[in-house]
Structure 1
Amino acid sequence: MTPRTKISVAEAAKVADILRIDFEVVGFDLAQFHTGMTTELQHGTGDPDTNVTNDDLVATGKLALAHLNEIADYYTRLAAMEAEARDES
Structure 2
Amino acid sequence: MADKSFTESEARTVGEQIGIDWSKAPFDVDQFRRGMDVELEHGLHDLLTNVTDDDPLVTGKIALAHLNEFPDYYTRLERMEEDAKREQGLG
| Fold agreement, TM-score > 0.5 | yes
Aligned structure 1 segments of 4 or more residues deviating by more than 3 angstroms:
none
Shift of 1:4: 5.6
- Per the normalisation by structure 1, the TM-score is 0.92
Distance 2:63 2:8 in 1: 14
Stretches of structure 2 that go unaligned for 5 or more consecutive residues are: none
More helix by share: 1
Residue 60 of structure 1 corresponds to which residue in structure 2? Answer: 59
Q: CA RMSD for the aligned pairs? A: 1.2
Residue 18 of structure 2 corresponds to which residue in structure 1? Answer: 19
Which amino acid letter does the alignment assign opposite residue 88 of structure 1? E
Quick check: 1:9 aligned with 2:4? no
Stretches of structure 1 that go unaligned for 5 or more consecutive residues are: none
Distance 1:71 1:52 in 2: 23
Residue 30 of structure 2 corresponds to which residue in structure 1? Answer: 31
Shift of 1:48: 1.0
- Number of aligned residues: 87
Q: Is the CA contact 1:4–1:45 (under 8 Å) kept in the aligned structure 2?
A: no
- Per the normalisation by structure 2, the TM-score is 0.90
Distance 1:43 1:12 in 2: 17
Cα deviation, 1:11-69, whole Å, max 9, x if unaligned, reads 11110110120122121010100000011011101101111111000000000000000
